[in-house]
Amino acid sequence: MKIVFAGTPEFAAQAMRAIHTAGHEIVLAFTQPDRRAGRGMHLQASPVKEFALENNIPVLQPETLRRTSVDPQKKVQADEAYERLSSIEFDAMVVVAYGLILPQEILDISERPGRFGSFNIHASLLPRWRGAAPIQRAIEAGDAKTGICIMQMDAGLDTGDTVLVSGLDITPDETSASLHDRLAQLGADSIVSVLDALQQSKNMNRVPQPNEGITYAEKILKSEAEIDWSLSAKEIDQRIRAFNPFPGATGQVGGLVLKLWDSRIPEIGAVGSTGSVGDVLGFSGDGVYIQCGQGVVEVMHMQKPGGKKIDAKTCLQSIGVDQKQLHFLSKE
């Protein structure tokens, strides 16, 4: 099958690699423009672009696909993208974490006679967690299960019919980083299964999404990073793991803002004392117990400004404050 691929981050690149390895021909790749990143703020290509260049796949990087843009430069880019897509032969379009809205006229090109349309890999069990951050929001909410939906795209926000659904359990110690990797592999395998089935002229059963259970995964903001210690230990644990690796949960102690990387709920009886909200109650091997509004959370790894991620006990001891006086400030 000849595929047009649209995606940007590593999650998308993994699917792209799987499609390529399975023997399907990617004839054109869309990805976000190069962005400045790193300490030197140099322009960096997306993982999708890097793979495309390594495999001689043509790449387009428009800032928008809307030909109605009032910005002349963006309109030219959108016009060029539309004309290029209209002029090539392909069987289906695959969209994964692209970052741009596909206008109906772009979807229409993929649905011309003889083509299968556009398919999206979405990292949730739709209609739960439509939107930008389904992996993080699932962990933050304490969901026990998530998965991958391969969706036949329409003009709505993750509203299309599903053609394949694969679920997996969220483990108690899951972080967004670990769940991302598991879902990326599941997504890659799932989209290859769909494309292989289409190539064999098998009809894909399209299932409309139910009207019940719709939730939206809003984009993660850096302003969400600071932990509110008046919340329950369960809520705090979920947030710390959900915000690993981005934006990284934070807590202020001893005049420093520390990153909090890994956490869990300690076993009953593991902590022998209680304290005021934010108090450090003691150490658990390399970890640290912190009093929450309800219950205690155990944080295993922390990071000082400009430092590396290390075990939480060593990090707090390096501050030079007696353990009995260690206290995380409450969010204002």
**E strand or H helix at 105, and its extent?**
helix 104-110
Question: Cα torsion for 258, 262, 265, 270, to the nearest 10°?
Answer: -80
Number of H helices, E strands in the chain: 8, 17
The reply to whether 124 sits in an annotated binding site is yes
Q: Is the peptide bond before 245 cis (omega within 30 degrees of 0)?
A: yes
Q: Which tokens hold the place of 257?
A: 């803002």
d(CA 228, CA 224): 10
Q: Evaluate whether 190 touches 125 at the Cβ level (below 8 Å).
A: no
Q: How many CB atoms lie within 10 A of CB 44?
A: 14
d(CA 56, CA 303): 41
Rg of the chain, C-alpha, whole Å: 23
Residue 112: exposure state from Cβ atoms within 10 A (0-12, 13-18, ≥19): exposed
State the residue for tokens 């509004």. 293
Non-local CB neighbours of 29 within 8 Å, separated by 6+ positions: 4, 5, 6, 7, 16, 48, 49, 52, 57, 58, 59, 60
The reply to whether 166 sits in an annotated binding site is no
d(CA 140, CA 322): 32
d(CA 27, CA 2): 6
The reply to whether 100 sits in an annotated binding site is no
Residues making up the annotated binding site are 124-127
Residues making up the annotated binding site for (6S)-5,6,7,8-tetrahydrofolate are 124-127
